[in-house]
Amino acid sequence: MFLASDPGVTPTALFHNLKHNRVLHERLVFLTVRTADVPRVPEEERLDIAPLGADVIRVVAAFGFVETPDVPGALALGRRAGLDFDIMSTSFFLGRRTVTAAKRSAMPPWQHRLFGLLWRNGVSATDFFRIPPERVVELGSQVAV
């Protein structure tokens, strides 16, 4: 299962996995978690599941802006809709960006330090989406700001 920030774009973690491991898994699920403009999303409207081809599925999970995203809980709802998977044998591939300082930046130094502090203190995607940490593979890149 590859997490994607945009359901219309191939996840960067898939590209990194292909580049480094030279393997394409037998079954692919692209998962996007979005925040709705309402406080709570009813369970029957939580998931949008769309087949993209043979053994490739796109899943969009919606949560209200007062809800804490619970990916395993949402995917359990997907079982009722025909999404066949076992969370304990599923690997979640996440793209991770590490922010580094650029040699030259348009930002003043104080903004650079503040941005770095906020970035380091942010919650990891694994924790935020409640994904079991032993099921996560992070593939990263560095971004200079």
* Token pair belonging to 114: 């503040």
Distances (CA, A) of 145 to 34, 113, 115, 137: 26, 11, 9, 25
From the list 93, 102, 77, 92, the residue with the least C-alpha distance to 139 is 93
The pLDDT of residue 23 is: 87
How far is the C-alpha of 11 from the C-alpha of 18, rounded, in Å? 11
* Token pair belonging to 119: 């970035």
Q: Give the domain ranges of the chain.
A: 2-144
CB 91 within 8 A of CB 137: yes
pLDDT < 70 regions, the chain: none
The pLDDT of residue 97 is: 78
